[in-house]
Structure 1
C-alpha cells in the first residue's frame, strides 16, 4: 500500500486505521504530504489523505527502511541499500524520505536533508543498477517536521525504499516549468554546503536584490519565483528545459550574507543561471509529458495500470499563483485512458535526469507501471 496524509492528520492513528483494513502483513509506504491528487480529486486544504493498494501475483517487491537521515544522509542510504542488495532482481527502486532536517526558526530558513547524499549512499551500496524514483515528504508549507510510513511502523528522519521487479514495466517522465531569466551564465565563487554566498565574486543576495528591485523577496520561505539552474545541455542556442537541474532557494541567512539552497550539490566554479518559474510552461509540460508517456506505453503494446505523480508543492496554485492546477492536466489524461492515479505534493522529487539519479526541485515526476501486451 502507498499512502499519504497531510501534516495536520495524526499519522500514527491514520496508519493504525489502514492496518485495520489491510492487516499488519501488508507493508505501507509513504508519509506526510501537503496535498493529494487522485483521478477524482485534488486537495491541499484540511485533513487530506490518499492511498493506493497494489495487488499482484506476478510483481516481486522488497521493503526496507533506515533512520538517522538528519545525522548522515549518505550513511542512511547505505544502510537502506544494504538491506535490499541481496533481495530480488529489481527494475526500479521507489523511495520516500524525510525532507526536513531542521524546521525554520524566526531567524533562520529551514535546513533540508540532502537527496544527493542519500542517493550517493544508495548507489555506492546497492548491487543493482536500477533507476531511483520517489520524493522527499513534506506535510505543510511551514516546513514542519514530517513522518514516514516505513512498511510496518511510522518514523521520522527515515527513508523507506521498495525494490520492485517481476511482471512490471516502469516508465517515467519529468515535468519542468522554469525558464532562464536572461540567458546569462554566472560562476559560483563562494559556497559552503547548501549556503551560496558569492557569484562572480559578488554577494548573491545583493545581486538578487538588484534583480527584484527591492528586498521583499528575502522574507519568502522558500523564494517563490526565482531559482538557481544548471544547464547540462548545449550552453547556447536553443536552451531546452529537460536539460536543466534547478535548485530552490529555501531562504536568506539572517545576516544577509548568503542564500540557502535545497541541496548542497553545487560547487565553486559551477556555471549557473538565474531561472524564473513559468506557470504557462509548467501547465503545458504537464499536459504534453503525461499524454506522450501514456501514448508511448500503449504504442509499445503494454497496458498502463497505475500512475504515481510526485508533484512539487511549489507547483500548486496556492503557492505558484498559477491560474489553474497543472495536476488537472495529469488527471485529465489518466481519466482519458481509464488508468488509476495517485499523486502527492512533495518537498523534493527524485528521478533519473540525463541518465543519473537526482534530487529535483520545482518538477513533477510521473511514474507509470505497465504490464503485459495490450489485448487487441
Structure 2
C-alpha cells in the first residue's frame, strides 16, 4: 500500500462542527477509507473538548495527537483569527506513529524533558527516522509567564540518538498567552509535552527559515535574571539597543516587544554570514522601569555575544531555502510547517505573507502546519529553541 495523506481545514465558529468538517475533508482530500493516524490542531477560540468530539465523529478509533494553535496552514489555506482548525490523516504501511506524553510542565520543564526522553528512547528502533515534540508555550496568563523550551529540550536531547531528526514547537492559543491544550488520542491535556516518534521506510529533512540578518557588531550581555536581559556591555539593555538602532530610528520602546530580535551566531564568528548558523531570540516584552528586555527564553546568559538582527523585506529567501531542502529530498510526499505566530503578516513587519511564499515554493507538495509560540530544530549539531523562525519538514519515500 502506498502512503496516502489527506489534509483538511475549517474556520467554522462552532467547535464540534469545525472538527467534523476538517476531518471529513482530510479523508476526502486524501482519498482515504481508513486512517492510521491523525495530526489535529485547533485555534485558541475553540473549545478543545468540543473540537475533539467533532473529530471523533469521523475518526473514532484513530490514534491522534496535536494541540492548540495560533493559526493553521495548509497548501490551500492560511488563517489566524482563532477559529481555524486543521486535520491531517495518514494511511500507510511505510510509516509507524508512536505517541508519548508527560505532564507537569509548569512545575519543572527539565524533569518533563528527562522523563519524556527516557520514554521515547526505549521505543526508538533502527528504522526510527523522525520525531515531533510539542509543548505548552503558556505557563500562566496573569501575570504572563512562559514554559521554557531550553531546559525541556536540553533534558530530552541527551536521551536521543544523534541521527534522529527532530522538529518541535510550543503551542500558542493567542498572543495573550491564554491556556493551551494538547490532544492525545481521546484525551485533552494541559501543561503537557508530547512526542510523536515516526519510524519506517521514509526520510524526514528539516530546514529553518530565519529571514533575519545581523545589522550590528557583536555586543555582550553582561547581566540577566532568567529571561530578562538587564545589561549589555555593562549598560542598561534599552540604552544599548537605542544606540544600536541609530539616531532618529523612530521606534517606540513599547514596540520593541514582538519586533526586536537578537541573534546568536553558532558558527564562525568572523566568517561569511550563514543564516542556518544563527539562533534568534525575540523580545516578548519590555521592562521600561528597569530598561530591560524580556525574552522568550532564558538562555541569553551573562557573557553571551549577540547581534541586533533585521528582518528581510525580500521574500526570495523562502524559495531559496525550500529549493535547497527539496534537492536533498528523494521523492517528497508531504511537508509540515511549524511557523512562529510573529511571522504572520499583521505582526511580522514585512510586506509579504511568509506562509504564502512557502505554499508557492513547495509547488504542489501537500502541506500542513500551524502557527507556534517557539520553534525547535537543530542548529549545527545541537537542538535549539528558536524565535521568529519557520521550521519546515519534508517527508520523502525511500
TM over 0.5: yes
1:296-307 map, 5 Å: 296-297=328-329, 302-307=330-335
Q: Cα 1:296–1:91, aligned 2, differ >3 Å: closer, same or farther?
A: closer
Query: Which residue number in structure 2 is paired with residue 222 of structure 1?
Result: 257
Query: For 1:366, what is the secondary structure of its paired residue?
Result: strand
Give the distance between the partners of 2:102 and 2:255, measured in 1 at CA.
32
Q: State the shift of 1:140 in Å.
A: 1.3
- Bigger mean CA deviation after superposition, 55-64 or 127-136: 127-136
Q: Cα 1:273–1:19, aligned 2, differ >3 Å: closer, same or farther?
A: same
58, 68, 71: which is aligned to 1:35?
Answer: 71
Give the distance between the partners of 2:159 and 2:287, measured in 1 at CA.
35
Give the distance between the partners of 2:313 and 2:372, measured in 1 at CA.
18
Cα deviations across residues 79-103 of structure 1 (Å, max 9, x unaligned)? 2122222224122211111011233
Q: State the shift of 1:131 in Å.
A: 2.8
CA contact (8 A) 2:331 2:396 kept: yes
Greater length-normalized contact order (CA 8 Å, ≥ 6 residues apart)? 1
- Is 1:63 equivalent to 2:118 in the alignment? no
CA contact (8 A) 2:312 2:350 kept: no
Query: Which residue number in structure 1 is paired with residue 224 of structure 2?
Result: 191
Q: State the shift of 1:363 in Å.
A: 0.8
- Is 1:325 equivalent to 2:353 in the alignment? yes
1:264-343 map, 5 Å: 264-280=298-314, 283-297=315-329, 302-334=330-362, 336=363, 338-343=364-369
- Bigger mean CA deviation after superposition, 50-59 or 250-259: 250-259
CA contact (8 A) 1:64 1:151 kept: no
Runs of 4+ in 1 over 6 A off after TM superposition: none
Q: Cα 1:289–1:214, aligned 2, differ >3 Å: closer, same or farther?
A: closer
- Is 1:368 equivalent to 2:394 in the alignment? yes
- Is 1:47 equivalent to 2:83 in the alignment? yes
Give the distance between the partners of 1:39 and 1:316, measured in 2 at CA.
16
Q: State the shift of 1:237 in Å.
A: 5.0
Give the distance between the partners of 2:322 and 2:368, measured in 1 at CA.
14
Q: State the shift of 1:126 in Å.
A: 4.3
Query: Which residue number in structure 2 is paired with residue 350 of structure 1?
Result: 376
Query: Which residue number in structure 2 is paired with residue 240 of structure 1?
Result: 274
- Bigger mean CA deviation after superposition, 234-243 or 156-165: 234-243
Q: State the shift of 1:221 in Å.
A: 7.6
Cα deviations across residues 155-174 of structure 1 (Å, max 9, x unaligned)? 11111101111112111111
CA contact (8 A) 1:6 1:32 kept: yes
Give the distance between the partners of 1:275 and 1:127, measured in 2 at CA.
33
Query: Which residue number in structure 2 is paired with residue 19 of structure 1?
Result: 56
Cα deviations across residues 295-324 of structure 1 (Å, max 9, x unaligned)? 332xxxx32111101111111111013222
Query: For 2:158, what is the secondary structure of its paired residue?
Result: helix
CA contact (8 A) 2:138 2:146 kept: yes
CA contact (8 A) 1:62 1:88 kept: no
Give the distance between the partners of 1:5 and 1:49, measured in 2 at CA.
4
- Compute the TM-score of the two structures, normalised by the length of structure 2: 0.84
Query: Which residue number in structure 1 is paired with residue 204 of structure 2?
Result: 170
Query: For 1:57, what is the secondary structure of its paired residue?
Result: coil
1:143-154 map, 5 Å: 143-154=177-188
Give the distance between the partners of 1:91 and 1:234, measured in 2 at CA.
30
CA contact (8 A) 1:101 1:111 kept: yes
Query: For 1:333, what is the secondary structure of its paired residue?
Result: helix
- Is 1:112 equivalent to 2:150 in the alignment? no
Query: For 1:121, what is the secondary structure of its paired residue?
Result: helix
- Bigger mean CA deviation after superposition, 349-358 or 214-223: 214-223
- Compute the TM-score of the two structures, normalised by the length of structure 1: 0.89
CA contact (8 A) 1:34 1:346 kept: yes
Query: For 1:248, what is the secondary structure of its paired residue?
Result: strand
Residue correspondences, number: 357
